[in-house]
Amino acid sequence: MSKLAGREVSYIKEYRVIDEKTGQINPEHIRIEVIKDTYTKSKFNDLTYKERNPEGISFFHLKLISERDVQKELDFNLIDLGRLMMLFSYASYENNGRHYLRLDNGRPITYKIIKDVLKINTRTLRATMNKFLNKEILFFDEDKKQYYFTDKYISKGKMNNSEKRKKIFPPYRFYTKSIRELYNTLTEDKSNQSKLLGLLLCITPYIRLIDHVGIKYKRNSSNNMLVLSEYDEVNERYEAISQKMLAERLNIAENSLITYFKKLNEITHKATGQHLIYKYNESLQAYGQRYKYTNEAIVINPRYTYSSDEHSRRYRNLVNAIENAESNIISFINEEDEKNSVEEVKNN
């Protein structure tokens, strides 16, 4: 007998008016009710994430191996990887090994809706979907007429014991809302800018998580810093990967990597007030701010991905450091504006 059987489960029920062609919700016609009812396990599994977690934050896990070349392993270019990340964010909670693509309201995502979600034309969509299907990373259920991912690369919800015993434990966590916002911002003008989201996927495996080796030797994670597997026993930390080496590992020219990082920061700061990429030497600063792009460690904003303990002191320290870095940038900009104003007065 399921533990849920006979128990009252609180969930949200939303009544929405949806455009049948686009799948978009009309925000003026939404009515929300918080309901308590008695549910069996099967009924509970049919609820959408928002119904199960009225106040929760949606995320998905990707099963990436530390320092693994994602682009080479999947044989996709950065643009395709960016589009794949967007589709991952729509994977549903399932217990049968299949994560069907669904909108937040539980409605299945059709071929037409995928076109709108990815913001690409019909020809590009056809080529993209054929790649995903031929590489067997995305599948189509002929009975349900729905697309789905398997547990090979993605998981949502609680991991089972067999997953926990594998060396990929724990998988990398990505936040649904932030990933979608980033993709939509990147593709406002040019669809090929989705490659910058693909780049985020490729650099994520260089964040070191706590695996069984780390637990055995009492080693912390790299706290969203990009590192190598070598561990500095004296300083008790993993060795940061240099920008040059990261570019080599990703098979990207270093100058191109610099351009990509600066573009990512420009876009994310404009959209959210925070940057995505930071560099750390003696303090944390946004990538591209008064740095020479040489020996500083690269750090990823946990707004997009964070796979360690969000309740830990190390997480709070990272968030505080980012907030301080952003405050310093504002102060620096204001100082420059004031300096320029003084110079203009002198010249006049």
- CA gap 315, 182 in Å, rounded: 22
Q: What per-residue confidence (pLDDT) applies to 66? A: 82
196 or 232: which carries more pLDDT confidence?
196
Q: Based on the domain organization, do 306 and 204 belong to the same domain?
A: yes
Q: Which domain holds residue 202?
A: 191-339
- Residue 117 host element (H or E): helix 111-118
Band the pLDDT of 283: cuts 50, 70, 90. confident
Q: What per-residue confidence (pLDDT) applies to 327? A: 84
Query: Which has the closest alpha carbon to 116: 18, 21, 17?
Result: 21
The string of pLDDT tens digits covering residues 76-90 is: 999 999 999 999 999
- Domain end position, chosen among 153, 186, 219: 186
Q: Has residue 189 got a pLDDT over 80?
A: no
Residue 347 lies in a domain: no
Q: What per-residue confidence (pLDDT) applies to 113? A: 97
Q: What per-residue confidence (pLDDT) applies to 154? A: 93
Q: Based on the domain organization, do 232 and 325 belong to the same domain?
A: yes
β-sheet bridge partners, residue 300: 277
Q: What Rg value do the Cα atoms of the chain yield, rounded?
A: 22
Work out the number of other CB atoms within 10 angstroms of the CB of residue 231: 16
The DSSP-derived string for 79-107 is HHHHHHHHHHTTBPP-SSSEEEBB-TTSP
348 or 333: which carries more pLDDT confidence?
348
Query: Which has the closest alpha carbon to 91: 141, 150, 179?
Result: 150
Burial class (CB in 10 A: 0-12, 13-18, 19+), 293: middle
Q: Based on the domain organization, do 50 and 150 belong to the same domain?
A: no
Q: Based on the domain organization, do 105 and 174 belong to the same domain?
A: yes
272 or 232: which carries more pLDDT confidence?
272
Q: What per-residue confidence (pLDDT) applies to 41? A: 39
The DSSP-derived string for 198-266 is HHHHHHGGGBPP--HHHHHTT----TTBBEEEEEETTTTEEEEPPHHHHHHHHT--HHHHHHHHHHHHH
Band the pLDDT of 180: cuts 50, 70, 90. very high
Handedness of CA 320, 321, 326, 328 (dihedral sign): positive
β-sheet bridge partners, residue 240: 227
Q: Based on the domain organization, do 79 and 165 belong to the same domain?
A: yes
Residue 161 lies in a domain: yes
C-alpha 180, offset from chain centre: 8
Q: Based on the domain organization, do 48 and 112 belong to the same domain?
A: no
Work out the number of other CB atoms within 10 angstroms of the CB of residue 103: 18
Q: What per-residue confidence (pLDDT) applies to 174? A: 96
Q: What per-residue confidence (pLDDT) applies to 232? A: 81
Q: Has residue 213 got a pLDDT over 70?
A: no
Residue 51 lies in a domain: yes
Give the chain's domain count: 3
Residue 348 lies in a domain: no
Q: Based on the domain organization, do 51 and 66 belong to the same domain?
A: no
**DSSP-derived pairing of the beta strands 98-100 and 277-280:** unpaired
Share of the chain above pLDDT 70, in %: 69
Q: What per-residue confidence (pLDDT) applies to 45? A: 41
- CA gap 106, 99 in Å, rounded: 12
Q: What per-residue confidence (pLDDT) applies to 14? A: 44
Q: Which residues contact 200 (CB under 8 A, 6 or more apart)?
A: 85, 182, 264, 276, 300, 304, 305
Q: What per-residue confidence (pLDDT) applies to 25? A: 53
- Domain end position, chosen among 186, 210, 239: 186
Residue 170 lies in a domain: yes
Band the pLDDT of 125: cuts 50, 70, 90. very high
Residue 50 lies in a domain: yes
Residue 173 lies in a domain: yes
Ranges assigned E (strand) in 241-342: 277-280, 284-286, 297-300
Q: Based on the domain organization, do 332 and 211 belong to the same domain?
A: yes
Q: What per-residue confidence (pLDDT) applies to 274? A: 94
The string of pLDDT tens digits covering residues 151-161 is: 999 988 655 55
Residue 345 lies in a domain: no
- Number of helices (H), then strands (E), belonging to the chain: the values are 13, 13
Q: Has residue 294 got a pLDDT over 70?
A: no
Q: Based on the domain organization, do 246 and 203 belong to the same domain?
A: yes
Q: What per-residue confidence (pLDDT) applies to 311? A: 86
Q: Based on the domain organization, do 157 and 83 belong to the same domain?
A: yes
Q: What per-residue confidence (pLDDT) applies to 35? A: 44
Q: Which two tokens stand for residue 324?
A: 């301080």
Q: Based on the domain organization, do 204 and 265 belong to the same domain?
A: yes
Q: Based on the domain organization, do 209 and 279 belong to the same domain?
A: yes
Q: What per-residue confidence (pLDDT) applies to 299? A: 96
- Domain end position, chosen among 163, 186, 209: 186
The string of pLDDT tens digits covering residues 67-116 is: 889 999 999 999 999 999 999 999 998 768 899 999 988 999 999 999 99
